[in-house]
Each structure stands twice: as structure tokens, then as C-alpha cells.
A = this chain, B = another copy of it.
Amino acid sequence: MDDAVSHISQAYPDRVEVRGRDLCGDLMGRVGFTEYFHLLLTGEEPTDDQRFFLDLLLVAIAEHGMMPTNVAARMTLAADPGSLQGAVAAGILGCGPVILGTSEECARMLQAGHAEGGDPARVATDLARAVHESGARLPGFGHPVHRPLDPRAERILELADERAVSGPHVALARHLREAVAMIWGRPLTMNVALPIAAVMLDLGFPATAVKAVPILARTGSLLAHLAEEREQPLGFRMAAAAERAIAYEPPP
């Protein structure tokens, strides 16, 4: 059964080995958590650019106001104050595509577009046109709050250019924005999910790693909301407001 193998870590009585390294003698005190997360996720320590952008993307996506995930987590802690992990889990369960964006879907779209080869402007136009005609939503576009621009998306692109990591996936993302404005007949907000995916692919991350970033980031934010909830309980107040917004009527 030579495929019953994991390459992540093993604890021994006197040491812990992680990704072939000695956790206590080598990693602790030398690498920060972002670098360690990269090592855990990919098996390799990040380059400076990978580290910089992993930090940037985690910071970009972690916190965005009193999101439904934060609301659900705070209500859950209010109902079960002893279970911080239960409240975090409830919040993470809301990290579905509607709330947390579609970064992995964006990554697959960009990968497929890039794999086609040829002129990226043309690839972007064909892709946008096909989605528009099918009536589906184009991942990475549209935002309920940010208009006309998602400032996080713009800042990521700006830093990717400044640091010269923008490659073909970032280029394709920009072509998509132009194609969308033309085909939809008006500009749509490019939301933060698309540049996250584009920059990660240009830095060499696999598409399957892309969704890990928003989930880790959002966990940090949930923990902040739950720390505040323990000091300043808002969960039941929010639940009451939610309940009042809905009327009960007997079935017809």
C-alpha cells in the first residue's frame, strides 16, 4: 500500500517533523506564520514575492464588515458561549461562493483561458461572450457594496505591477474586465476574487490552493469578531433584528 502516505508531518517523542524539516530546531523562530502556511500548503518555503503576496491576499480578504458569516458566528457564540470552536465553525460554513467569492472558480477559468493560448484579448472576449449568452454569472465580477471599483482588487493589481509579478493570468483578468464592459454594455465591478486568483496563479500556486487563502483569512476575522462578542455581546441583538425583519403568516 505504497500510496497510504502523507507528506505533511509526524510527531515523535522528542521532535516534530514538518515537511521534512525539524519544527522546533529549524522552523520555530525562523519563519513567520505566513511562510509556514505556505510550507504546509505547498511543501515548499515561499520566495520573497510569494510571501509578500500571500500576506497581501490574506490581509485583503480577511475582514469586510459585519458579514453574514460574522453574524452567524456571533449568534452561535451567544447561544453556546463555551464553544469558541463551534462558533468559528458556524462562521466558516457560511464561506460559500455567494459570500466569500469565487476565487477557485476564477482560478479555473483563468487557467482554462490561458491554456487555450492565442491572443489573450480574444480569449477574454470569447469567454465573456459565451458566459453572457448562456445567461450565467461571470465569476469575479459584480459586488453588492463596491461600485464602480472594488478597492481591494485595484490595490492588488497595483502591487502586482509594482513588484513585477503580473504575468499572463493578471493580463487575462484585465482583458476580461474590458471584454465584460463591452459585452455587458456597462462596466461591472471586478471583485477581489479575480485578482486573488490571477496573482496566485502567476506566482505558481496550484488552483486547488486558491480557496485556502480566503478560508484562513476569514478564520482570523471570525476570531476577532468572537473576541469582541465575548466583551461586547451583539449576537442576540442581531438575531432579534433579523427575526423582526420577517413576519410570520400561516400557510395559505
Contact = CB atoms under 8 A, between A and B. Distances in A.
Interface of A: 3-20, 23-25, 27-29, 31-34, 36-37, 40-41, 43-44, 52, 54-56, 58-60, 62-69, 71-72, 75-76, 78-90, 92-100, 145-147, 149, 151-152, 154-156, 159, 208-209, 211-212, 215-217, 219-221, 223-228, 230-232, 234-252
A221 to B, nearest CB: 6
Q: Count copies of this chain in the complex.
A: 4
A167 B25 CA distance: 24
Contact of A87 (B64, B80, B93, B147): B93
6 nearest CB pairs, A to B: A80-B96, A20-B250, A241-B245, A238-B242, A40-B224, A10-B248
Given A34-B33, A98-B79, A146-B14, A6 B228 contact: yes
* Dominant secondary structure at the A interface: helix
Contacts of A225: 6, 8
A66 B232 CA distance: 23
A80 B64 contact: no
A32 B100 CA distance: 21
Contacts of A230: 208
A97 B215 CA distance: 22
A142 to B, nearest CB: 14
B64 A79 contact: no
Contacts of A14: 146, 149, 151
A95 B85 contact: yes
A90 B93 contact: yes
6 contacts: A7-B232, A11-B145, A23-B151, A29-B56, A41-B227, A88-B215
Contacts of A231: 208
B80 A94 contact: yes
A228 B8 contact: yes
Contact of A223 (B20, B41, B52): B41
B9 A63 contact: yes
Contacts of A227: 41, 208-209, 212
